[in-house]
Amino acid sequence: MYKDILWNDGWQFCLTENGTLTVESADKEKFTDVEVPHDWLIGDTRDLYRSGDGWYRKSFTVTDEMLAGRFFVCFDGVYMDCTVYVNKKPAGDWKYGYSSFSFDITDYLDKGENTIYVLVRYKAPNSRWYSGAGIYRNVRLKIRNNEYIKENGVYISPRVENGVWNVYIEAEKNGGDKLIHTIVSADGEEIGSAEGMNCAIRVNDPKLWDIYEGNLYTLKSILYKGTEIIDVSENRFGFRTTEFDPQRGFVINGRSEKMHGVCMHHDLGALGAAMNEAALRRQLEILKSFGVNAVRTSHNMPARELVAMCEEMGILLDSECFDMWENAKTEYDYARFFPEWYKTDVAAWVRRDRNSPAVVMWSIGNEIGDTHASPRGLEVAKMLKEAVLEHDPKGNAICTIASNYMPWENAQKVADYLKQGGYNYAEHLYNEHHEKHPDWFIYGSETSSAVRSRGVYHLPASADILTHDDLQCSDMGNS
């Protein structure tokens, strides 16, 4: 018994003031039917940042046969600070709004009807951009036998050695007997297999994943109990080499290429933050038509759909995790939880996407004031890189940072430790720093931005003022 179910249907929603309801009293309120993914903030454009507690609930039926296995409820993203209850019993907490997570809810289930509740505590301000609020990404229910392949537990590292590709595989499972891995091409051909928790498959002349060439393969991992198949895990990957050479620049499959990148926030404009695959694909197709070949996920962990589309379209990803570390940028942002939760969130971030050929960089932060304020910034950078390498030890992607503090010493020490540094609005430093630090890979992580209020014009056009007295930004390009 193993199946994955898209679990977006049948949810109901209720919005209340912060702290006014408990799970015991929640059913006294009026709930309305909603579609998940759901962003409740976009429903009232006159009050886009209203604090509140969002309550979600969903009822489902469990049979005796189903209770013989394990149930995992998986959330791709809940913004933010949530608690999941099953039959009014707490099943788990999750703080960050951008990392994926799952809970084993088996022990909270009863035969017959069950109800899951999700409490989302949204307190503003918590972000420097529009965040949305609620269960804004997909939900899945995974039903497994008691012995199974662990979630995100298959790590794939293709390496070319002496002209031959070896696909190194590390797997994690809970019970079971033999574990067999088979590589399957896009047209369904099986091109190699191996058995074990740590093994390798040799592949001759695969199609390379490259910019605008989304050549993908699937590793199908099958767990047996005796001769019975008890679990199957399928993971996409690609064959490509990358180098970040301080002299040659970015090198993919042996040739130097310019990254023509954009920084993308996670929202979909007027549609809000709720995941919509058609809208996201439209964005990427328009960007690709402009010549874009790289995306930086500013400034948070991306939706799995974005990663999948970039894999298919041959677009490089600089996957970014945090906009703040220990020092807050807004009153209720993730800095409240960072010290206790960063390892958990980095694990969720890296383990989910470490097999993706599109992901070439793990950016551990954006414009982090901690790296400028004191030597503690370097200490935290080391902590984060160590956490990344714990889950991507073979370096499928490099560890980097995006900084607007590069003119100053403490941030430069972080760049010297990482050896890869993204410069925000600091093009004037490229040549100077390249000469001083010839071992650094220097790139422009953020080089321009425009903030404009449509149809609002402030004179003189030469006056460079971000926000005027009317709280609007001039549409003349002088903001």
**Looking at residue 467, what is its pLDDT?**
66
Residue 452 has pLDDT above 80, yes or no: no
Q: Specify the range with the lowest mean pLDDT, choosing from 12-16, 152-156, 463-467, 472-476.
A: 463-467
With a pLDDT cut of 90, the percent of the chain lying above it is 91
| CA gap 80, 132 in Å, rounded | 9
Burial class (CB in 10 A: 0-12, 13-18, 19+), 116: buried
| CA gap 84, 348 in Å, rounded | 17
Residue 212 has pLDDT above 70, yes or no: yes
| CA gap 268, 129 in Å, rounded | 12
**Looking at residue 474, what is its pLDDT?**
78
CA torsion through residues 285, 288, 293, 296, sign: negative
Residue 478 has pLDDT above 80, yes or no: no
Q: What pLDDT, in 10s, does the model give residues 347-386?
A: 999 999 999 999 999 999 999 999 999 999 999 999 999 9
In this prediction, residues 390-403 reach a mean pLDDT of 98
Catalytic residue among 151, 311, 320, 367: 367
In this prediction, residues 432-461 reach a mean pLDDT of 88
Known catalytic residue: 390? no
Q: pTM (2 decimals)?
A: 0.94
Residue 477 has pLDDT above 70, yes or no: no
In this prediction, residues 96-108 reach a mean pLDDT of 98
Q: What is the mean pLDDT of the chain?
A: 95
Q: Terminus-to-terminus CA distance in the chain, angstroms?
A: 58
Q: What pLDDT, in 10s, does the model give residues 238-294?
A: 999 999 999 999 999 999 999 999 999 999 999 999 999 999 999 999 999 999 999
Q: What pLDDT, in 10s, does the model give residues 59-86?
A: 999 998 889 999 999 999 999 999 999 9
Catalytic residue among 151, 311, 320, 446: 446
Higher pLDDT, 321 or 44: 321
Tell me whether strands 316-320 and 294-296 are parallel, antiparallel or unpaired: parallel
What is the edge-to-edge ordering of all strands in the sheet holding 255-256?
242-245, 249-252, 255-256
Q: Which ranges constitute the DSSP H helices of 268-421? A: 277-289, 304-313, 338-353, 370-373, 376-391, 409-418
Name the pLDDT band for 479 (thresholds 50, 70, 90).
low
In this prediction, residues 192-207 reach a mean pLDDT of 97
Buried/exposed code over 300-309 (b: 16+ C-beta within 10 A; e: otherwise) = bbbbbbbbbb
| CA gap 153, 234 in Å, rounded | 11
Residue 437 has pLDDT above 70, yes or no: yes
Does a cis peptide bond (omega within 30 degrees of 0) precede residue 265? Answer: no
Known catalytic residue: 234? no
**Looking at residue 471, what is its pLDDT?**
75
Q: What pLDDT, in 10s, does the model give residues 41-54?
A: 999 888 888 999 99
**Amino acid, res. 321:** C
Residue 1 has pLDDT above 90, yes or no: no
Contacts of residue 149, defined as CB under 8 A and 6 or more positions apart, other chains included, come to 171, 172, 173, 174, 176, 179, 221, 223, 231, 232, 233
In this prediction, residues 333-344 reach a mean pLDDT of 98
**Looking at residue 304, what is its pLDDT?**
98
Name the token pair of 473.
């930004």
